[in-house]
Amino acid sequence: MDLPAEEEQPLYSQRPEWADVVPLEQYESVAPLAPIFYTDEYRDATNYFRGIVKSGEMSPRVLELTENIIRQNPGHYSAWQYRYKTLMALKSPLDDELQLMDELAIKHLKTYQVWHHRRLLVQQTRNPGPELEFIANSLQVDTKNYHTWSYRQWILAYFNDDALWSHELDFVESMLESDVRNNSAWHHRFFVVFQSGVRNGDEDRDAVVRRELAFVKERIAIAPNNASAWNYLRGMLDHAKIPYCELQAFVLPYSLPQPPLGTPPEVVDLESPLPSKNSQLPCVAAVEFMADIHEAAGGDDLVTATELWKSLANEHDTIRKRYWEYRITESLKTKSAGDG
């Protein structure tokens, strides 16, 4: 990782103010099979880092040294850990450290250590409010970054303040408006609605389920082949212990080929929006859903389920052919046991 564009600094071994530190070389065997070719700058900085760790020094220059190492290698766990200990020992202003993290987190969104360090800082400052805005801005850079979403969930759950939760559903809805296929946003919505306790205004859980059903149905109608929305639908049905068969009227049109253009629906059901125009049908997720409905019904319905799995294996989802063949085999075993 390159250092930021600025006036080049001499190596620590060339700096008089570091002359009192005895650098420690990294231990390596005489002839390592796969030697790592470090830059001179990185090798020099980490040699001095090992030296100060051995002596136990915690000082402002240690903060400068660890920042140097982190900028070269943001995944250096030991540098992050020792930096945090030094900040605590010096009682350094953590708001200044958070400003530095604003820069480093955006540059290194996929580096776990950046987010872990930030978490430790916020536990000390006890000021989570600005974090939600920072996370929202970070998600504009990478809308699906796991560490960013995970950190947002931690902020909400750890502090569990009503003010933090109050606009969270609006936030995640805006993310899905931008990209209805954002699986991370769907996962976060499930976390907010079903896995984080009962928020103010959501005490009527049956009403919440109805709201979420309407929401996910509308999004499936917009993009029928969006696996994220179908997974959300399954998850909420399982959570609410609603049998899949209760959604059969909604799912069925998505499991069939697209009707000819201009063919009006026989009945307009506002609770079961139809696929949008030009949708690619049948939808694999819908065919699987219908097969699961028939499998759960058992008896002669197992034959229908088997036919649906065969259509997935041989036509609609051939990339998972072996999986669907496995489902067929298991279904036949179940049917044989029942007939026996």
Q: Is the dihedral of CA 35, 41, 45, 47 positive or negative?
A: positive
**Is 168 exposed, middle or buried, given 0-12, 13-18 or 19+ CB atoms closer than 10 A?**
buried
* Residue 290 half-sphere exposure toward CB, CA atoms < 13 A: 23
**Helix, strand counts (H, E) of the chain:** 16, 0
Name the phi and psi angles at 185, rounded to 5. Answer: -70, -40
Rounded Cα gap, residues 70 and 1, in angstroms? 9
User: What own/partner pairs with CB < 8 Å and gap ≥ 24 does 26-29 have?
Assistant: 26/50
Choosing from 110, 144, 277, 335, which is the catalytic residue? 110
DSSP assigned state of 313: I
DSSP assigned state of 82: H
**Is 291 exposed, middle or buried, given 0-12, 13-18 or 19+ CB atoms closer than 10 A?**
buried
What CA dihedral angle connects 122, 124, 130 and 136, to 10 degrees?
Answer: 0
SS3 2: coil
Q: 195: which residues sit within 8 A by CB, 6+ positions away?
A: none
| Contact call for residues 48 and 25 (beta carbons, < 8 A) | no
Rounded Cα gap, residues 68 and 79, in angstroms? 10
Residue 91 annotated in active site: no
Token digits for 153? Answer: 């969930």
DSSP assigned state of 265: -
Q: Return the active site residues.
A: 110
